[in-house]
Structure 1
Amino acid sequence: MRILFLLAALLTAAPATAQTPVRIWHALSGPQKTALETMAAAFNNANPDYAVKPVALTQTSTLLARVADEQRRARPEGPPLVIVSEAAAGDMVAAGGLAYPVSQLLTDMAEPYDPEAFLPAVRASFSDAAGALLALPFLLTTPVLYVDAKAVRDAGFDPAKDLKTWAGFEGVAARISAAGGGSCAAAMQAPPWIAVENLLAMHDRPFASFDNGRGTDPRISADVDFLARHLTRLVDMARGGALRPRTSGVEPVGAFVGRACPMLLGTSGLLGHIRSRAAFDLAVLPLPYLDDVTNPPKPSLPGGFALWALRGRPPAEMKGAAKFAAFVASPDAQAWLARELRSIPSTFEGWRRVQTDGTTTAEPGLAVAASELAGQMPTAASKSPRLPGKADIEGYFEAAFDNAFLGTKQPRPAVVDAVQRADILLRERRDGER
């Protein structure tokens, strides 16, 4: 199976036999889109009875709208597979009986499935309350801390020792900023994901009720005081110049690779991009945690994209969909995604493969990211929130951070406002489904 991803295999002529088409809707672009197309080509060459056909839609919202239309049809006409971001998991579950749990699909179609094969944090976040694996991770990520190691050492710190906690991170940032006359020391991507969802999960605090949104009538149950204290820390850092928020017009990744800010809190999905552009001694470290709250922290949250199955297609298509899902979950495919896109393997065997094939030697940051997901066993509070409209909810918290950084609202009222707006959205979504 390892030869599937060799260029020679991809250039093999397609057999002249009848094939069952297996469409995949997605909104991927760039290298992610290319990776999916490459995997589809490799699968088709190895499985001549099927023709997996990725179909690119303009954006995730368009894809979700199409899925919602399929839900309303008496006879669905859509594909058997879709790929959506982790943030859209709640919307996929809200599709009711249209969503076909991947574990059930694999079992029904007599394809291999072992729930124990997946990393615990992955299995917890992508499964329902009964333990069924709803979706298969595809391009798995988690947040990490990127550092210009020389800049940190020049400030008198050891990156591996002094950046483990938020207190340490704040102290390092303050000194770097002061030495530069108030210059930027750190930037942050996606504050709602990193400084809300991951902060809560790593410290065993729920974001939502009912198993972090897995019940029938969830509410936002985030610890407002806990989040407000942390946001106050970030606002204080920004006022002192150590943290450069988005409101100042900074593009976080560009500021980091351009050496304007020597530290970046961001997604591991950018490992390859940042490594190729960082003209300095790049170090990749785990996300800081609050050691006065928990030590060691719970796992960080898995992000990225996932492969979902939809019901309603002919049995032959569903069989092909199951075969492709099993193909994506295979150690070879997981290792290939890790090599090509620095995706974290979602299975133990996939992880063992990248440790022995040189992938983690070439990119040690991948091992750091994987270790965050392979830490303590996750709890109900430390698995990914699964809420319909989660992208909008994250937008409410994004606005709360912006308001706090701009000074138009104090941190606690800003967080309260985000929680209230999110609860209104959840109530509207619930009432609309009745």
Structure 2
Amino acid sequence: MSGVNGERLEEMTRQFNAAQSDFAVTPIFKGTYDELINATVAAYRTRTQPQLVQIYERGFMTMLLSGAVVPVQELMAAQRHNINWADFIKPIAGYYTHKGELAAMPFNSSTPILFFNKAHFAKAGLEKPAETWQALEQQLRQVKAAGGPGSIMADDYHWSWFENYSAINDYQYATKNNGFGGLDTEFTYNRTPVVQQVGRMKRWMDDGLLQTAGQGVAAAAVFTSGRSATFIASTATHAAVMAAANLEWDAVPLPYEEGRTPRNSVIGGAVLWALRGHADADNAGTASFLAFVAKPETQVWWHKATGYVPATNAAYALAQSQGWYRERPTQEIAVKQLTRGEPTANSLGYRFGNFTQTMFAQREEAERAFGGQKPPQQAMDDAVSRGNEILRRFERLNAGRY
């Protein structure tokens, strides 16, 4: 992690090191998640692997099937740490559970919410964003008519506008329970309202209701500077939004389609993987730090300091008992959105091999639709075709491992 959240991670490790004298944790920044996952596999092959590595959710299948990891429940049991695994919030635990057990320790978990500029909405005679996409579009037209700006699109828009959109509206994204049921999963989002969502995004762009930040400009900076009416982004964006000067803002849950009952959103972020090939004494240190991470007190501190969600119900209850959400009500939105109802096969999460590659294919095709080069249906048909080819390569490479 880099920036402010990287500083918070370093602070957490200092807390652990100060709390006991048997072990010392040293965090090392190794670049982006994509750079890190490749470096981790290479390090394992040369026996220079670290004890713990922080890998994003899209790398789950690569790590799980790499042969380089010790499942976290196996490690903690071997080191005699008693963790209440059943207490982890379901959409968080479910994302990283394989064969009934957590494979890695949930760490910086997030989900997108809708931030909005209160001043722009008030100028248009509006209090807050509507609950449905259809009503939100009408509001954004009112904001624009009142002289206000459009919405700013996050750099990782696919996560919010396609993946979470599908989960919240309970639309299938792929066969085999979105990949949980086997490596032979196939994308199907070209046969769902994701196609209409791409069309909606193009319409909003054409009508000045949605904009991209532009090369070299952070989307969050556009919102925090007051130049955007709404911003759908990770709840971890709280740190940047709260630090903004003279910004009147608030937040609400993500919208859903008219006529649908909204389900839970899905997570992003990363987990901590324990790597094989270390002495038992080193594994004891790894387990000790992971037990510290799982403590409700540590979870709540991390939640408050970063905006990431608490991973366990006990931590959420502790934050409630401390009155945190009376002070910071918008930080509870993500937790409530994640725990809304019982997860379905469409809302538990996504489990695809080479997930990042399939996402880039999807984005390329969506952006061709935004630019008018392809109609939305053809763009999503092509995205699914390209994505399924990538899935088949991963399936062949990992046959029999899952």
Q: Give the 3-state SS of the residue equivalent to 2:24 in structure 1.
A: strand
- The alignment status of 1:305 with 2:278, answered yes or no, reads no
Match of 2:8 in 1: 35
Which amino acid in structure 2 is aligned with residue 263 of structure 1?
A: T
1:424 aligns with one of 386, 389, 392: 389
Report sequence identity in percent.
27
Question: What's 1:412 paired with?
Answer: 377
Q: Which residue of 1 aligns with 2:332?
A: 367
Query: Are 2:117 and 2:248, in contact at CA under 8 Å, matched by a contact in 1?
Result: yes
**Alignment correspondent of 1:198:** 164
1:94 and 2:76 are equivalent in the alignment: no
CA distance in 2 between partners of 1:372 and 1:166 (Å): 16
Counterpart of 1:85?
56
1:50 is matched with which residue?
23
Mean Cα displacement is larger for which, 326-335 or 254-263? 254-263
* Aligned twin of 2:143: 176
SS at match of 2:176: helix
* Aligned mates of 1:393, 1:313 — CA distance in 2: 33
Q: What per-residue deviation string (whole Å, max 9, x for no partner) do you get for residues 215-252 of structure 1? A: 23322232434211111112111111111135799742
Distance 2:39 2:309 in 1: 29
Q: 1:56, 1:251 → 2: CA distance?
A: 21
TM-score of the two chains, using structure 1 as the length reference: 0.86
1:315 aligned partner: 280
- Quote how far apart the aligned CAs of 1:315 are: 1.1
- State the Cα deviation string for residues 62-103 of structure 1 (Å, max 9, x = none): 321133235546xx44122110122222221231x3222222
Q: Is the contact between residue 265 and residue 337 of structure 2 (CA under 8 Å) also seen in structure 1?
A: yes
Residue 179 of structure 1, CA deviation: 2.6
Alignment match, 1:113: 83
Kindly indicate whether the alpha-carbon contact (under 8 Å) linking 2:183 and 2:353 is maintained by their aligned counterparts in 1: no
Q: Return the alpha-carbon distance in structure 2 between the equivalents of residues 291 and 306 of structure 1.
A: 34
Within 5 Å, give how 1:4-403 maps onto structure 2.
28-70=1-43, 72=45, 76-95=47-66, 97-128=67-98, 130-159=99-128, 162-180=129-147, 184-189=149-154, 190-214=156-180, 215-245=182-212, 251-277=218-244, 279-292=246-259, 294-295=260-261, 297-403=262-368
Say if 1:344 and 1:370, in contact at 8 Å, map to a contact too.
Answer: yes
Residue identity matched to 1:122: I
Give the C-alpha shift of residue 346 in structure 1. Answer: 0.7
> What is the distance in 1 between the residues matched to 2:361 and 2:326?
40
Conserved? CA contact 2:190–2:380, under 8 Å = no
Deviates more, 1:30-39 or 1:328-337: 30-39
8 Å CA contact retained: 1:247, 1:405: no
Alpha-carbon shift at residue 358 of structure 1 (Å): 4.2
Report the CA distance shift for 1:241/1:107 in structure 2 as closer, same or farther (over 3 A): same
Divergent runs of 4+, >3 A: 70-73, 245-251
Q: Distance in 1 between matches of 2:119 and 2:4?
A: 30
SS in 1 for 2:172: coil
* Partner Cα separation in structure 2 for residue 111 and residue 211 of structure 1: 32
Unaligned 5+ segments in structure 2 are: none
Please report how far the alpha carbon of residue 290 of structure 1 lies from its aligned counterpart in structure 2 after TM superposition.
Answer: 0.9
1: distance between equivalents of 2:2 and 2:109? 16
Amino acid at match of 1:107: A
Output the amino acid matched with 1:64.
I
Q: Distance in 2 between matches of 1:359 and 1:377?
A: 25
Aligned residues: 397
Most deviating of 311-320 and 213-222 = 213-222
Paired residues of 2:239 and 2:306 also in contact (CA < 8 A): yes
Cα deviation, residue 420, structure 1:
1.3
RMSD: 2.0
Write the distance in 1 (CA, Å) between the matches of 2:284 and 2:271: 19
Matching residue's letter, 2:86: E
Classify 1:197/1:425 alpha carbon distance in 2 versus 1 (closer, same or farther; 3 Å): same
SS at match of 1:176: helix
1:177 & 1:419 partners in 2: Cα distance?
34
Q: Could you tell me which residue of structure 2 aligns to residue 8 of structure 1?
A: none
Q: Secondary structure at the match of 1:144?
A: strand
Partner Cα separation in structure 2 for residue 136 and residue 192 of structure 1 = 25
Q: Deviations over 1:283-311 (max 9, x none)?
A: 1100111132x21x111111112111122
